[in-house]
Amino acid sequence: MNELPYIEKWLYQTLKVDATLTPLVSTRVYGNKIPTGSAFPLINFNFMAGRDVQGNGTVRIMTRPLYQIKAIVKGGMSTTLRDIANRIDDIVQNTSSVVYEGFIFSARREQQIAYSEAGADAEINYFHLGGLYRIDIQRS
């Protein structure tokens, strides 16, 4: 079984319905590709790498993928960007033994992310702030 679709659904649902994030990003929570023409600020997450934890024989005990989860704004560092990134961290970092669709989730941030990039128009910059989160998942 591939657990990644369950993780991405959990991340999307958890971040999209949070009462603190909704006023900041509305429903602009995207897994992997950000749609062309999207408004900012927004949240983006994507799979980076992962590994399985094996038991005896053919038993897989759990999966431990690493996800990049970040807020993105047009421009530079701002209070809004910090508020979104801090709330993402509050939600994901504090996940411990959450049951969702038959799986148990736990997560911890392993590394921070903060960088800027130029857009297609050199006049516009985008700033990314968030982290790399190790998400543990196993069947409940």
At 98, which CATH number? 3.30.2000.30
Give the model's pLDDT for residue 62. Answer: 92
How confident is the model at residue 99, as a pLDDT? 85
Q: Report how far apart the first and last C-alpha atoms of the chain are (Å, whole number).
A: 14
Helix, strand, coil share (%) of the chain residues, nearest 5: 25, 45, 30
Quick one: pLDDT at residue 60? 87
Instruction: Provide the number of structural domains found in the chain.
Output: 1
* Domain containing residue 37: 4-139
Q: What is the pLDDT of residue 50?
A: 94
pLDDT at position 94, please? Answer: 82
* Averaged pLDDT in 10-residue chunks for the chain of 140 residues: 91 95 97 94 97 89 96 94 98 86 91 90 86 93
